[in-house]
Structure 1
Amino acid sequence: TPEGTQSYREFRKIAIRQYGSIDNYVREVILRRPATKNTIAASVSSSSASQHLPLSSEYIIRKNDFPYALEQGIEHWVIWSLKEMTHDEVEEALRKTFSGKEWVFVINPAHLQSVGSVWHGHIFTRDDDSATS
């Protein structure tokens, strides 16, 4: 939506000013890795900070701070990792995390990724109607 795009642009300016780049923000705030000498240790509050799942040693899955405009009932999540995950690793993580839900996982092409140096993919979930039948 235009409002979502504007909100993201405003957030991006703040994050770049405080962390040097969006990539640094993701590493420090989302993946909770220490600041590097090229970044400023500061904190940007995130509306979905309390909606993320516990950090494993390899990845974190959390609701997208700026979700795509989706039909009602579909949630937009992101899986972040400091290393590239294999298809099998992603599938195992999603099966454990989203039991009882249908999900689709996609990785945007490089030219569409707003965070290019941190591996991530998008997950779209909804309740699995067949699980209740």
Structure 2
Amino acid sequence: MSVPTGQSLTAAHAEVKAEIARTDTKTGLLLAFVGAVLAGTWTVGHDLPLTRPALAAGIAGMGLLVVAAGLLLRSVRPNLRGRHGFPLWATLTPDEIPGALSADLAADIAGLARLAVAKFTCLRRAIDLTYAAGALLILAALLTLGGAA
């Protein structure tokens, strides 16, 4: 394995930061979608006469959407105790910043990559929960429309 050059480390650093930005964008879009589904489901379901099975499926679906929203919020929550980027720079004097920026780019890449994986994992779990919630809400709608007792 070859020793990474400064240029390849800079490219890897930029790639990790871009992946974090893409994940945050996807998370924001999914959070808006989950919020819209929660609001729409509440608006529609709140005035309908629901059977017990439909109510149980609807409550479970709404609960999963709330958990998904919590995971999404956790994913985009700022990490102010982190050792990378803005939080670190805020603790340094102007004279210390150039040294911190040039010190160890590889360590920064590793830390940011771990952050990206954590964000991606939360996003993936939230998507899985959103799928499950959607299935339960569709089941609740079918039970309501079918009049199952």
Per the shorter chain, which TM-score range? Answer: under 0.3
User: Going by fraction, where is strand more abundant, 1 or 2?
Assistant: 1
**Higher RCO (CA-CA < 8 Å; seq separation 6+):** 2
Give TM-score, length-normalised by structure 2: 0.24
TM, length-normalised to structure 1:
0.26
Mark the structure with the bigger radius of gyration.
2
